[in-house]
Amino acid sequence: MKRKVTKAIFPVAGLGTRFLPATKSIPKEIMTLVDRPLIQYAIDEARAAGIKEFIFVTSRGKGALEDYFDNAPILEQELRKKGKNELLEVLKDTNMDSGAIAYIRQHKALGLGHAVWCARRLINNNEPFAVILPDDVIAAEKPCLQQMVEAYEDTGGCMVAAMEVPSEKSSSYGILDVKGDLGTMVSVKGMVEKPSAEQAPSNLAVIGRYILTPKVLQSLNRMKSGAGGEIQLTDAIAEEINQDRDVYGYRFRGERFDCGSKAGFLRATVAFGMARPELRDEFTSYLEDMVSLTKAAE
Ligand code: UTP
């Protein structure tokens, strides 16, 4: 099995119901943290990890995503005419090499596992691939997927990003059942989807970064033909463990924001806003004023 990861799947076919009505016409991934859509953070992270091919699993109404990564000749011409070179530079991040990006449709939102399975024909035998959920935004000195890809070169197998969560939050995540603690990583003997605090086998939750082998796609193939309802990616990864193949949880260094939820998105907006040199002073002083006003009103 090769250990170089050069393809990433971005499942973006979900309905995004937690952001209705906005997501009635705007894909969740186009929603903006400061001045960049969520998908741009995901693409930047993938590029830093050495990803060269970007596979989007989309659905009806996600046209804005395709346009975002297209050239914008009229806009670019205008900017050039006005000498706005710094803005032309900003737009460069949205450019993709011809043929580097592929769009596959998931016709029905049948779950994350099903979305990943929809991209199966674009992944070769023996070729590991990454999966990035763009609504998990991770602020990190070294981008999370890059940390994982580096670790994966030594381990092989499957790898999921893992984060410690308080036990009362375990029912919102897939939780790892740990076989051995290797420090930055753990080896995994099981995964439990959304357990209660009492039933959680550890405090390590899976979040939206994965490095997987094509065997996972074969498991998804079987599930696709068998089960009704949502097809879970974690079930297919658990199948790897059942087959005695290695699965690791990677304790990434960084802060993860759940931008699929309103509270998480607001937190991310504050954190990323404060991290911007051009906004920091004004924004911080506004937040300080808000806090003191709230305290005074209590
Ligand atoms: P979520 O669980 O956040 O679902 O999916 P959602 O539909 O995006 O949002 P809510 O819960 O209705 O507000 C996690 C990731 O999996 C993708 C989503 O696009 C998101 O990136 N996904 C989920 C699919 O691509 N297809 C699916 O059938 C389900």
Q: pLDDT per residue over 167-176, tens digit each? A: 999 999 999 9
Clarify whether residues 271 and 256 are in a common domain: no
Q: Tokens 């170089």 correspond to what residue? A: 4
Give the 3-state DSSP-derived string for the chain, with helices as H, strands as E and coil as C.
CCCCCCEEEEECCCCCHHHCCHHHCCCHHHCEECCEEHHHHHHHHHHHCCCCEEEEEECCCCHHHHHHCCCCHHHHHHHHHCCCHHHHHHHHCCCCCCCCEEEEECCCCCCHHHHHHHCHHHCCCCCCEEEECCCEEEECCCCHHHHHHHHHHHHCCEEEEEEECCHHHHHHCEEEEEEEECCCEEEEEEEEECCCCCCCCCCEEEEEEEEECHHHHHHHHHHHHHCCCCCCHHHHHHHHHHCCCCEEEEECCCEEEECCCHHHHHHHHHHHHHHCHHHHHHHHHHHHHHHHHHHHHC
pLDDT mean across residues, the chain: 92
Task: Give residues with Cβ within 8 angstroms of 281, minimum separation 6.
Answer: none
Distance from Cα 62 to the centre of ligand 1, integer Å:
13
pLDDT, tens digit, for every residue of 81-94?
999 999 999 998 89
Clarify whether residues 170 and 221 are in a common domain: yes
Is 100 inside any structural domain?
yes
Clarify whether residues 295 and 201 are in a common domain: no
109 burial level (CB within 10 Å; 0-12, 13-18, 19+): middle
Number of domains present in the structure of the chain: 2
Is 86 inside any structural domain?
yes
Clarify whether residues 255 and 272 are in a common domain: no
Clarify whether residues 28 and 108 are in a common domain: yes
Clarify whether residues 276 and 138 are in a common domain: no
Distance from Cα 107 to the centre of ligand 1, integer Å:
13
Clarify whether residues 146 and 256 are in a common domain: yes
Clarify whether residues 237 and 292 are in a common domain: no
Clarify whether residues 146 and 286 are in a common domain: no
Is 2 inside any structural domain?
no
Is 1 inside any structural domain?
no
Q: Is the pLDDT of residue 131 over 60?
A: yes
Q: Which domain holds residue 53?
A: 7-260
> What CATH number should be reported for the domain holding residue 220?
3.90.550.10
Query: What number does the ligand 1 atom closest to the CA of 12 have?
Result: 19
Distance from Cα 16 to the centre of ligand 1, integer Å:
6
Q: Is the pLDDT of residue 217 over 70?
A: yes
Q: Is the pLDDT of residue 262 over 70?
A: yes
Is 166 inside any structural domain?
yes
Clarify whether residues 297 and 165 are in a common domain: no
Query: What number does the ligand 1 atom closest to the CA of 230 have?
Result: 28
Is 60 inside any structural domain?
yes
Clarify whether residues 236 and 280 are in a common domain: no
Is 255 inside any structural domain?
yes
Distance from Cα 13 to the centre of ligand 1, integer Å:
6
User: In which band, very low, low, confident or very high, does the pLDDT at 292 lie, cut at 50, 70 and 90?
Assistant: confident
Distance from Cα 183 to the centre of ligand 1, integer Å:
31
Query: What number does the ligand 1 atom closest to the CA of 19 have?
Result: 13
Clarify whether residues 226 and 295 are in a common domain: no
Percent of the chain residues past pLDDT 70, beyond the cut: 97
Query: What number does the ligand 1 atom closest to the CA of 18 have?
Result: 13
Please state the rounded mean pLDDT for residues 159-185.
94
* Dist CA 157 CA 241 (whole Å): 10
- Whether the CA torsion 235, 240, 241, 247 is positive or negative: it is negative
Is 84 inside any structural domain?
yes
User: In which band, very low, low, confident or very high, does the pLDDT at 224 lie, cut at 50, 70 and 90?
Assistant: low
User: In which band, very low, low, confident or very high, does the pLDDT at 225 lie, cut at 50, 70 and 90?
Assistant: low
